Amino acid sequence: MDATSRPLSMPPQMGLYAEKHRLYQLMQGILEGLLIHKPDQPLDFLIKQLTLDNEDVPRILILGPPASGKTTIAMWLCKQLVTPRISQETLLATEWSSVAVEAQEYQDRQQKIPDVLLAELIDERLKVKDCLHNGWVMEGIPETREFAWTLQGMGIIPRHVVVLYAPDTVLIERNLGKRVDVVTGEVYHTTFDWPSNTTVQKNLVAPKDISEKETARRLLEYHQNYPGILQSFRKPMKLVNADQPCADVFMQVLTHVQFPPRTPAPFSPRILLCGPPGSGKSLQAALLAQKYGIINVCCGQLLKEAVAGGTKLGELIKPYFDSGWPAADNIVVKLLSERLNCLDCHLRGWVLHGFPRDEDQAKMMKQVEINPNRVFFLTLTTETILERLACRMVDPVTGERYHKLYKPAATRETHDRLLIHPRDIEESVKLKADTYFRISGTLETFFEDAIFINADQDPQTVFEYIESYVVNPLPNKH
């Protein structure tokens, strides 16, 4: 910070650094830990938290009524994310701690394990190395609001909560056919998911307490406790309909947990729109700028303004304009760097379109620290491009634009005087489209995290797709 001037101002680079290294999220996690645990030695606690480096590991709760598929989804998630599964069964599977032994004694006496003891057991398990470094998927816990509060008070706070649901009649029918592999613990069903392997079939047994009467009792208990659980995990909760094929349920759950939860950390969008001519980049940039107040940076317009303003870079660009050749890449990148490093772009964010057009230009942008945090490719076929651009006409008298298909002239007189701009002649449009498709492949590869959106649909629909990726965090790559 500049301590010599008032008011104190933060250099724009500090915000970019903080965003890149996720300093806001890191500070939020540290403060939460301090307030929850209240350690006697805060500095030692902070050092330990920083050395863990586990802010992004999965911390997932899978909840739902009996027979909703919690175990299956939790197992599949653990295989996909390479994380340990935490459930009452896995906690009591071995005598791995004195607390587990004490809890098992309650289980042997067919008594309910006290919440305090179970919470202590969970806390001890989550402090084991595999959970600290790989995260965890907790299945069927907590079952009551009071137990949820107990876990939260101990600092056990999930990043994602998934609640499965289905009609009670479906759950009762599903539960009657449930079978468990005594060797692997995998769950199967006599109707919906019967294994083809005869060895696995021999290992299947019916679990205890799956009668219709017992299932109905457990469902009633679940419905009584569900409202309290809903209040405990309102923000990170995702409801998923379990009355569909298990693979579909799993994909919905996986998609949800791969997206980090939204954070109150400051965020300045730096959006890059790429796509062939006629894909609607200018329109989408204008919509984003209008709704969110970010700076609309059109590369072509920026070049024209530099020439019209008589700037030093404008004087270098003017000969290219006069000759009809595109401006040199190094000059364009320098002009873009100056504009995107202005204070308004750092504070409000920006949306850039019209550059880069190939991988070499993208590499030059990276060299001068122009790093977009959202990259969109608006995809369109050559036929649609020709339909959009080669049918455009303009009225030389009024300056109004028309289109042969979407906006024809209202009168014969107007139609007869319409002209086609040379750049909209079919041969010219096809040449530009072919050029784009020839060089866009390497550009798409360069931006590994790019998002592809079909631009051959209503512009508002395209905008909503872009908007959803701008306002929400990008998915984690597990």
Any residues with CB less than 8 A from the CB of 478 and at least 6 apart, and which?
58, 80, 81, 82, 258
Q: Check residue 234 and give its pLDDT.
A: 76
Domain 32-44+53-172+207-258 and domain 270-390+425-471 have a common topology? yes
Residues 108-156: tens digit of each pLDDT? 888 888 989 999 999 999 989 899 889 999 999 999 999 999 998 888 9
Report the distance separating Cα 142 and Cα 147, nearest Å.
6
Any idea what the Cα angle at residue 139 is, between residues 135 and 140, rounded to 5°? Answer: 145
270-390+425-471 folds as Rossmann fold (3.40.50)
DSSP secondary structure of 335-381: HHHHHHTSHHHHHH-EEEES---SHHHHHHHHHTT---SEEEEEE--
Assess whether pLDDT exceeds 90 at residue 375.
Answer: yes
- Side chain identity at residue 106, one-letter code: Y
Report the distance separating Cα 377 and Cα 469, nearest Å.
13
Task: For the sheet with 187-189, list strands across it.
Answer: 187-189, 178-181, 204-205
- Give the least confident one: 37-51, 158-172, 274-288, 293-307: 37-51
Q: Where are the domains of the chain?
A: 32-44+53-172+207-258, 270-390+425-471
Of residues 7 and 233, more confidence is placed in 233
Tell me how far the alpha carbon of residue 45 is from its chain's centroid: 31
32-44+53-172+207-258 folds as Rossmann fold (3.40.50)
Report the distance separating Cα 472 and Cα 374, nearest Å.
11
Partners of 163 in the beta sheet? Answer: 63, 239
Q: What is the average pLDDT across 181-207?
A: 82
Q: What is the average pLDDT across 171-193?
A: 81
Q: By percentage, how much of the chain surpasses pLDDT 90? A: 40
Assess whether pLDDT exceeds 70 at residue 5.
Answer: no
Assess whether pLDDT exceeds 60 at residue 163.
Answer: yes
Neighbours of 160 (CB within 10 A): 21
Report the distance separating Cα 116 and Cα 102, nearest Å.
12
- Could you tell me if 430 and 278 are in contact, meaning their C-beta atoms sit under 8 angstroms apart? no
Report the distance separating Cα 337 and Cα 342, nearest Å.
9
Closest to 277 measured CA to CA, from 331, 168, 353: 353
- Give the least confident one: 96-100, 275-279, 365-369: 96-100
Q: What is the mean pLDDT of the chain?
A: 87
Q: Check residue 1 and give its pLDDT.
A: 44
DSSP single-letter state for residue 419: B
Residues 13-36: tens digit of each pLDDT? 777 787 777 788 788 888 888 887
Report the distance separating Cα 231 and Cα 384, nearest Å.
49
Q: By percentage, how much of the chain surpasses pLDDT 70? A: 96
Tokens for 313, please give them. Answer: 């870079």
Tell me how far the alpha carbon of residue 191 is from its chain's centroid: 36
The CA-atom distances, in angstroms, between 386 and each of 220, 280, 285, 404, 432 are: 61, 13, 22, 12, 10
Of residues 324 and 270, more confidence is placed in 270
Q: What is the average pLDDT across 195-201?
A: 85
The band of 223, judged by pLDDT with boundaries at 50, 70 and 90, is very high
